[in-house]
Structure 1
Amino acid sequence: MMTLAAEIDKNGTSPEKLLAPVLSSFWDEPESWTLDTYHRHDGYEGLRKALAMSPDDLIAYVKDSGLRGRGGAGFPTGMKWQFIPQGDGKPHYLVVNADESEPGTCKDIPLLFANPHSLIEGIVIACYAIRSSHAFIYLRGEVVPVLRRLHEAVREAYEAGYLGTNVLGSGLDLELTVHAGAGAYICGEETALLDSLEGRRGQPRLRPPFPAVAGLYACPTVVNNVESIASVPAILNKGKDWFKSMGSEKSPGFTLYSLSGHVTSPGQYEAPLGITLRQLLDMSGGIRAGHRLKFWTPGGSSTPMFTEEHLDVPLDYEGVGAAGSMLGTKALQCFDETTCVVRAVTRWTEFYAHESCGKCTPCREGTYWLVQLLRDIEAGKGQMADLDKLNDIADNINGKSFCALGDGAASPIFSSLKYFREEYEQHITGRGCPFDPARSTLWADEKDDKNAHRGVNA
């Protein structure tokens, strides 16, 4: 399949023409979040087509479309629905994970704020497919404006007959509950989220059993990301072949890329999977004037970092994986040459240490010791042996913790030592950080001049 870069060279297509606004196609319209606006853009037409199919045929249709989960792992959405056992006599639940809280990740919250009905329509379709009569949206509680807007959208959907008893005369009864979490990053992990929904402390569960067998209230449960479910209505309305015409063979469709950091125009860029960072930077005005790209993350702070040499890596699951990282949440954090890698990795690791639930020893103890070593190195108090010790501790966390939080904490350590070991050594031999934090504009310490930090937030 021809790459997007080759398509530009062949046809002279401008980079902007490669964008695929579907979820974001009317975000800039007045009151884009209302049901009236959603109706003007074929709202709930996908649901009508879905209800004309049998649940099993609907699952097969979504599976054939090739839609993969947009929450990070990229697991096929239709296959996840298919795992739900039928005829078991138990209630089935759909839980939408809207607990977006990883550093750099900012796609689901803007989507809910600007176009909440795309999610609600997707929820109704998914519940019909898995034969569920109760769905939950687990939203990050700090985003109160989004919570209010989502509540209003749910009210509109009930009033219009898209939720409640006998949805559109189909015989489907569906209740939708919006739950605001208390603000814990660990609750983004699906089993910790389920524990939190049940009123317990959010901690990952031992698996098996998996949520598809024993999830919420020990019943079969599908846990999907916001963008994954919100993408389903367009697939039903416009067809699976239309969806597969975008992206790559194994990673079809459109998706939201969150571009942030030292870029001229940060924001959400909805494009087919397989676009490159170079093309996205062309659209966004590039790295801020007078500077150059130093390193970047393809999928948030929990994915191994890339450098300038990876600008042309196709941003799909296979391309990023082959280059040594993960597509994750497609949170493209870009850092220029003024940024200290040690400082960046230290801040990320402090986040993971703070957000560790403490259930498993490798993560609880390992992230603590990573922070101690990194702080010493950043302050010029480290030793050369600390670099190997960092690597060893990260290796003792990676793949050995209860959930992926440990892996996410280890990733920046491994990749930064791989690409920027000399910078770590420079902190040790020079007895301090050679970078001026005020020039980066990304972090502010209380001791720094806060006026010098006004600018782009990572």
Structure 2
Amino acid sequence: MSEPTTLAPVLSDIWDADRSWTLQTYLAHGGYQGLRAALRQDPATVVATVKDSGLRGRGGAGFPSGMKWGFLPPPDGGPRYLVVNADESEPGTCKDIPLMMASPQHLIEGVAITSYAIGCNHAFIYVRGEVLHVYRRLLRAVEEAYAAGYLGKDVLGSGYDLDVTVHAGAGAYICGEETALLDSLEGLRGQPRLKPPFPAVAGLYARPTVVNNVETIASVPGILRGGAGWFTSMGTEKSAGHGLFSLSGHVTRPGQYEAPLGITLRELLDMAGGVREGHQLKFWTPGGSSTPIFTAEHLDIPLDYESVQKAGSMLGTRALQIFDETTSVVRAVTRWTEFYKHESCGKCTPCREGTFWLAQVLQRLEAGQGTSEDIDLLLDLCDNILGRSFCALGDGATSPITSAIQYFREEFEAGTHTPADVLFPLERSALFTYTPRRGAGQLAGVHA
């Protein structure tokens, strides 16, 4: 193995500390120094610092955060809001939930700094409804921050007031889309809004609103504490800073690896013990299931926004799902497509109808009952969805299909005569063995 690249534990620095989720532990490791530094500055200076740091949105799009904050119109005497998107639902993505679970004060301090910078007096954290334990932990963390004077009236004697509301969603993938999230937060059905107007002009309650991902906001305290130069010393020229890389699937030591942007999967796999013993890498996702897949040929692509895009995919949420040679590409893509079909909000025809038909065709191919025309039909369906759906859900549903056909067309062709379960038996790709017993089952240990 090559010499591993140094990790950059910033957000994950105290995850292994005793009771890391408490305010006491956070303060013992330099917590809220960033907020104190921010309150000594003019809000515009704080925005400029974040711009200079090059921090880009960590939720998938990678848009420069300081620039996003700067899009807000001049104050008009009315309220403006910060909304934190904690509705982490993308298959394979699992960075925000462990961050909120292990160190929620990172997020809350970031919320306070960001709210001060944009002139917000009421911020919202929209949490995925299924993760009740995280919701409770955030509520407790907010209580601690209020009691210590980091939230509420006259924060740290600065004269600045801030309230924070933690809101639990009802469990819909579409509410991860920022405008659907805003509708849900207002009590409406979670469906994307037509843009423009953008949230910066008319967002929550038709007021200027900044919507940012959990990791984005949690990265702000470090920038205020260490300075923009400290942040840009990590990563690449256009993709600055550190990020959480989530390795899952057929990897020896899955988990969160916080490293500078620009690290490669080869380097991450070296630190994670490589692909599970006795097997080889077949394909992987650089940013979750809605990004075009990569193969072993892409092991040395720098994991930054520009390099991944140039190679034909997207960095997305840095959800690195690793699949070895025992995995059927057709089966994996079919499962993802069934998810997108189920989670389509139904607002637009290309996504509502297109994901349904994509799933139908893929299920035929998985069962070995496809026709010679099915592959071209899949590509034609994807072409009619891509760029024509109301939001990015439709586009994301097409990405794994078109890329899988590009790299593994022969497996789709095999779906015209042989079921995927025959070509790639489930028990070979499973991480755990499943032993049926009296109609139920149990996990019987790791399967090599």
TM-score (norm 2): 0.96
Residue in structure 2 matched with residue 405 of structure 1 by the alignment: 393
Selected match of 1:54 from 2, 18, 42? 42
Residue in structure 2 matched with residue 220 of structure 1 by the alignment: 208
Selected match of 1:439 from 409, 418, 428? 428
Query: Cα distance, 1:453 vs. partner?
Result: 8.5
Selected match of 2:346 from 354, 358, 364? 358
Q: Distance in 1 between matches of 2:119 and 2:417?
A: 63
SS in 2 for 1:96: strand
Letter matched to residue 297 of structure 1? T
Selected match of 2:333 from 324, 333, 345? 345
Contact 1:120/1:230 (<8 A) preserved: yes
Selected match of 1:158 from 128, 139, 146? 146
Query: Cα distance, 1:225 vs. partner?
Result: 0.2
Letter matched to residue 122 of structure 1? G
Q: Distance in 2 between matches of 1:441 and 1:297?
A: 18
Query: Cα distance, 1:437 vs. partner?
Result: 1.0
Root-mean-square deviation (CA, aligned residues, Å) is: 1.8
Contact 1:442/1:453 (<8 A) preserved: no
Q: Distance in 2 between matches of 1:368 and 1:455?
A: 35
Q: 1:109-188 residue pairs with structure 2 within 5 A?
A: 109-188=97-176
Selected match of 2:407 from 419, 422, 429? 419
Letter matched to residue 260 of structure 1? S
Residue in structure 2 matched with residue 40 of structure 1 by the alignment: 28
Deviations 1:280-312 (A, max 9, x none): 000000000000000000000000000000000
Residue in structure 2 matched with residue 297 of structure 1 by the alignment: 285
Selected match of 2:85 from 97, 100, 109? 97
Q: Distance in 2 between matches of 1:352 and 1:141?
A: 18
Residue 382 and residue 452 in structure 1: after superposition, are their counterparts in 2 closer, same or farther (change >3 A)? Answer: farther
Letter matched to residue 47 of structure 1? L
Percent same amino acid among aligned pairs?
A: 69
Contact 1:275/1:314 (<8 A) preserved: yes
Contact 1:192/1:205 (<8 A) preserved: yes
Letter matched to residue 29 of structure 2? H
Deviations 1:160-192 (A, max 9, x none): 000000101111110000000000000000000
SS in 2 for 1:212: coil
Q: Distance in 2 between matches of 1:450 and 1:203?
A: 38
TM-score (norm 1): 0.94
Residue in structure 2 matched with residue 272 of structure 1 by the alignment: 260
Query: Cα distance, 1:449 vs. partner?
Result: 9.5
Residue 432 and residue 76 in structure 1: after superposition, are their counterparts in 2 closer, same or farther (change >3 A)? Answer: closer
SS in 2 for 1:97: strand
Q: Distance in 2 between matches of 1:451 and 1:370?
A: 33
Unaligned runs of 5+ in 1: 9-13
Deviations 1:59-110 (A, max 9, x none): 1110010000000000001011101112222210000000001100000000
Residue in structure 1 matched with residue 182 of structure 2 by the alignment: 194
SS in 1 for 2:201: helix
Residue in structure 2 matched with residue 11 of structure 1 by the alignment: none
Contact 1:444/1:450 (<8 A) preserved: no
Q: Distance in 2 between matches of 1:444 and 1:102?
A: 26
Query: Cα distance, 1:452 vs. partner?
Result: 7.6
Q: Distance in 2 between matches of 1:72 and 1:445?
A: 35
SS in 1 for 2:248: strand
Residues 1:30 and 2:30 are matched in the alignment = no
Contact 2:331/2:420 (<8 A) preserved: no
Query: Cα distance, 1:239 vs. partner?
Result: 1.1
Contact 1:90/1:220 (<8 A) preserved: no
Q: Runs of 4+ in structure 1 displaced over 4 angstroms?
A: 442-456
Contact 1:299/1:332 (<8 A) preserved: yes
Deviations 1:98-138 (A, max 9, x none): 00011000000000000000000000000001000000000
Residues 1:260 and 2:248 are matched in the alignment = yes
Contact 1:437/1:443 (<8 A) preserved: no
Query: Cα distance, 1:432 vs. partner?
Result: 5.4
Unaligned runs of 5+ in 2: none
Q: Distance in 2 between matches of 1:375 and 1:338?
A: 19
SS in 1 for 2:133: helix
